Chains A and B, each alone.
Chain A
Amino acid sequence: MEFDKKLENKRLPLDAFMAERNEVLQAWPTGQDVDFEEGVRTQQALPESKRFSAALARAERDGKTLIQPRAGVALVDEHIGLLRYLEPACDLLPTTIDAYTRLNQYDKAAEGIERSAAAGTSLLNGFPAVNHGLAECRRVVESLKKPVQVRHGTPDARLLAEITLAAGFSAYEGGGISYNIPYAKKVPLERSIRHWQYCDRLVGLYEEHGVRINREPFGPLSGTLVPPFVSHSVAILEGLLALEQGCRCITLGYGQAGNMVQDIAAIRSLRELGDEFFRAAGYHDFQLTTVFHQWMGGFPENESMAYGVIGWGSAMAALAGATKVIVKTPHEAAGIPTREANKQGLDCTAQVLNMVREQGFPPSPVVEREIEIIKREVRAVLAKVFELGQGDAALGAVRAFEAGVLDVPFAPAACNAGKLMPVRDNEGAVRVFEPGRVPLPADVLDYHRERVAERARAEGREPVFQMVVDDIYAISKSRLIGRPR
């Protein structure tokens, strides 16, 4: 459906939302079973222990970092078995959706379900929730004791939201930017943002009915050498878009870069910037939390080495004070983990979190300086975004990607410029060596270039694309920085 009105960051009027809703529910037969009032009753009947927002609030109060895996397989009983197996080893549960469903290819998902049933093993990389439909999704939630989130990568996630939220899932990952740029090739940004306004409006409607659903923009983006200011800018924009539609429980995310100072500064600045921008936009009654993703780029194939990466990420999540951490597994480099491998990642994470929990990172001028740099970068980029959008966050986001002001490295989307080139500095922090058209303040850009030049001198080579390639492989080859061999 094309939209008769220009994109703007305004709450969708209820009548227009309802008209659109009729179409959305007809996109696949399982949509017909969704009933909003019944969804509200299902959500209201959830005990406190199964409410995502309540678990996050408790963790914030206790200064605890919660543990969450990724997990999803093709068939319902196998999926329930998998989550039940993981449940004792984590605090929050996921349901990771398969890639066909993410692209609304429900006929292909159906083929995947059939072939998986025949093969006796999952041939899909996630749980096809739309095909399984409302009753089966509800059975998933009912079979578990802990809160469950939908985790995906879906540019048009409207039907998926309708079905899973009515089934009792109490958190919904994604956003119109973060689920387009890294996950799609040809979806216009204005379309995915508009489709996510629908999802946010739906969450807002639940909120109006006293049901709090957690919303989490996808922080890591391409997962590969993304400078913190890039993902922070996107996360804050998506937070603003969600708040406008009535969402009140927002978790902002960040994917581990690998340098300790930068990672701690990133989570702290993310929280403070979120608060700053949300309040400046006139919102005051929101619940803001953070999520730290263990390293999202290429992993080492050797499982012991993978545990090293997982443990280091866990330590950073705790020291940075993230509300939750998303956990990787020793199978990461190879393929979808077995349930055993998945639990091993959780156990490794719990061990480190428990050991670091009581320790705080000491007050540090180096961390403070890094926080200041990230804040100045984000403020500069977002100022330009709002200027381009004439004050409107949605329009500004679209125009900023067009102009290359927002630019995500290594992303597949045609609407992303791909001109910004990151590289690690001599201590492994992710810096910008080619800014493209991203408007960083001149002295900040000088700082980046100086840090990159320092590494180039140390390695006796120029910072060209080969250095970036070496950095992309580095962690999978047992290093943080891709030094020449």
Chain B
Amino acid sequence: MSQPTAVLGVIGSDCHAVGNKIIEFALSQAGIHVVNLGVMVSQDEFIDAAIETGAQAILVSSIYGHGEIDCNGLRGRCMERGLDHIVLYVGGNLVIGKREFGEVEHLFKEMGYDRVFPPTVDLSNVAQCLKQDIAAAA
């Protein structure tokens, strides 16, 4: 299979840039082609970039706590724009405050994300999951 491509960015009005740069570095090293949109990315910008680059996955970060507001509806918009099988990941400090991760995971899976990650996730595991999920969706 050709090299998998993933669009990466920090959603909404979120300026946290450090994790974003590290995810790009780690996934690229693991052989994934990363299209990094950086911080403050709107849902439409994610989708436009995914269409433009033919990406098989969108990796959304939300660090600043507004994830519940900003991340909602992305799956629906992807469908509207014809991205029926795109893999959607989300990770970071997704909600306001310290909440049980199981609850957070449930909340974001309900929104249509295939996998949900806490801030402490090991990125080499993420790269592996991503390759498997992309292969399975193809």
Contacts and interface: CB of A to CB of B under 8 A. Distances in A.
A334 B101 CA distance: 10
Nearest to B26: A469
Contact of B22 (A124, A184, A469): A469
Given A124-B96, A336-B96, A182 B69 contact: no
Interface string A327-371: 000010111111001000000000000000000000000000000
B25 to A, nearest CB: 7
A337 B98 CA distance: 7
A103 B26 CA distance: 30
Interface string A465-485: 100010010000000000000
A112 interface: yes
Interface string B89-107: 0000101111100000000
Given A103-B13, A108-B13, A334-B93, A410 B21 contact: yes
Given A125-B96, A412-B39, 11 more contacts: A99-B15, A99-B65, A103-B13, A124-B66, A183-B15, A331-B97, A333-B119, A334-B98, A410-B18, A411-B17, A412-B38
Nearest to B10: A412
B18 A338 contact: no
Contacts of A335: 65, 93, 95-99
Contacts, number: 86
Interface of A: 99-100, 102-103, 105, 108, 111-112, 115, 121-125, 153, 182-186, 222, 224, 297-298, 301, 331, 333-338, 341, 410-412, 465, 469, 472
B95 to A, nearest CB: 7
Contact of A112 (B40, B64, B66, B93): B66
B40 A185 contact: yes
A331 B98 contact: yes
Interface in B46-95: 64-66, 68-69, 93, 95
B38 A185 contact: yes
Interface residues of B, number: 26
Contacts of B93: 334-335
Nearest to A105: B13
Contacts of B114: none
A299 to B, nearest CB: 10
Nearest to B37: A185
Given A103-B13, A185-B15, A222-B17, A122 B40 contact: no
Nearest to A116: B96
A99 B14 contact: yes
A73 B47 CA distance: 32
B132 interface: no
Given A123-B68, A469-B22, A336 B17 contact: no
